[in-house]
Structure 1
Amino acid sequence: RALITKPKLVICDEPVSMLDATIQAEVLELMLELKREDNLTYLFITHDLWLARFLCDRIAVMNQGQIVEMGQTQAIFSNPQHPYTQELLAAAPLLRKSNPID
């Protein structure tokens, strides 16, 4: 229903967090397809760093309700500037070294 009016922006707050892995993958593939076909922009709110890296072109990192770092996804993951972002990514070391799925 949210896409009937052909919006330019869709806000997604943890859209796949309660789904099993198979359904998550299907939903994410559909979201990517709709993004390409309809030139959609998603504001994707998540705690899942891998999901953010996979889906997002740009990332804003928040700490205690404040944006502490914002930029291209690849730049944030490869060279985080803010101490909080550095700590966050250090807590998930495989994320920094692996490449997202295209």
Structure 2
Amino acid sequence: MESFNTEIFTEGTTCTIRIQGSISLKNAFALKELIIKKHGEGFTDIVLDFSGDAYLDSSGIGAIFNSQKYVTERNGSLKLKNISRDVMTILKIANLDKHLDIIH
């Protein structure tokens, strides 16, 4: 089964979630739940760090969009960093890169 692993780093109100592995239909909801859980613990600024060679399919991208909506509606922020070239290409082709807060 495809899965992903995370490492969590916190500083003040910022929670960085370093992701390694594949986020797909089988586990995208788990990522969304983790983001919501960390926001509920008081971390208003969530950073998803994809430096761990992570891959997203459309379900993973959808989970991130839904999580971003949830967090921003509650006065927080969700940012992405270290996105692979392949995933960034997909986001740009679909014109989705303009709707996500991506740290370059």
Query: Which TM-score bucket, shorter chain as reference?
Result: 0.3 to 0.5
Higher Cα Rg: structure 1 or 2? Answer: 1
Return the TM-score normalized by structure 2: 0.40
Return the TM-score normalized by structure 1: 0.40
